[in-house]
Structure 1
Amino acid sequence: MSLCVFGTVFLWDGVPLAAPSPDGGSTFTCSAPYVHDGDNINCRGIRRGRLYGIDAPEMPGACRPGRRCTPGDPYASRDHLRSLVAGDNVRCEQLETDHYGRAILQCWSGSINLSCAQVNAGHAVKRYGWLRCGDAS
């Protein structure tokens, strides 16, 4: 049995079922990604999007009025994500597209799940999905 939440289908045990990206391929390699904040990644010329299942502190002035934004240091969050992707190719899979039209990406640097690494380091919180990290990033 499955459950549909925010346009994504999940198994009851919480494991997401990845849908192919709109261009027909769901996995791609991102060389030298640009990181603006702690939960977004920009693969120049390929795709940009939000990391799946997390919310990081907003950069100054980016928290919309009326929104409860994630507390914490946005610069530390951004810098941690930058350190995770520095000098490495990042492998991403587009899981879905959010209601703003942004790609929702599950990304890894080597064997490190970037969403889990941000949460485990205290630079983001689990939100907007059923992110399962376990003990390791």
Structure 2
Amino acid sequence: MIAEAIALALACSVTDGDTIRCGDERIRITGIDAPETRACRSGRQCVEGDGRASTRALESLMADADLSIIRLGRDRYGRTLAVVYADGINIACAQMAAHQAYYIERWDNQRLVAADCPEIAAGTRPRQS
């Protein structure tokens, strides 16, 4: 599969620190895990942290930004897996640099996040609750 960047013309909103919605499309930002905005569901392993702060950080990154995505497929919940850029900045890298998300190598489809910010990705290790 060839990844292709596509500019988004739709208004997008933040669901949480690693997921956005653009129109009817739910987009899961690949390569990272952010703290849950709501409590961690039973049976799941979730990274520690303030989910509301992570959500606000992503909202700030996206505010008035020109967004583009590289769609990579779908996850088991039907969300689009993608690398998302805000004004040319990889959102996953920005969330990790701000300590609002952790790099998860097995979730980095095509290793595009690691390619954009290798030092940051190598330096983030999730704490799980």
User: Under a length normalisation based on structure 2, what TM-score does the superposition of the two structures give?
Assistant: 0.77
Q: Unpaired segments of 5 or more residues in structure 1?
A: 1-16, 21-25
Q: Unpaired segments of 5 or more residues in structure 2?
A: 121-129
CA deviation map 1:71-93 (0-9, x unaligned):
00111100000000101221112
Alignment correspondent of 2:53: 76
Separation in structure 2 between the aligned mates of residue 135 and residue 31 of structure 1, nearest angstrom: 32
Shift of 1:27: 2.2
Alignment correspondent of 1:64: 41
Contact 2:21 2:27 in 1 (8 A): yes
Secondary structure (helix, strand or coil) at the match of 2:118 reads: coil
Shift of 1:110: 1.0
Kindly indicate whether residue 83 of structure 2 is the aligned counterpart of residue 99 of structure 1.
Answer: no
CA deviation map 1:2-54 (0-9, x unaligned):
xxxxxxxxxxxxxxx6556xxxxx62414431002100011124x22100111
RMSD, aligned α-carbons: 2.2
AA matched with 2:54: S
Alignment correspondent of 1:48: 26
Shift of 1:64: 1.8
Separation in structure 2 between the aligned mates of residue 73 and residue 18 of structure 1, nearest angstrom: 35
Alignment correspondent of 2:118: 134
Select the structure that is richer in helix: 2
The runs of at least 4 consecutive aligned structure 1 residues that moved more than 2 Å come to 17-20
User: Under a length normalisation based on structure 1, what TM-score does the superposition of the two structures give?
Assistant: 0.73
Contact 2:3 2:70 in 1 (8 A): no
Separation in structure 1 between the aligned mates of residue 78 and residue 13 of structure 2, nearest angstrom: 19
Q: How many residues align?
A: 114
Secondary structure (helix, strand or coil) at the match of 1:79 reads: helix
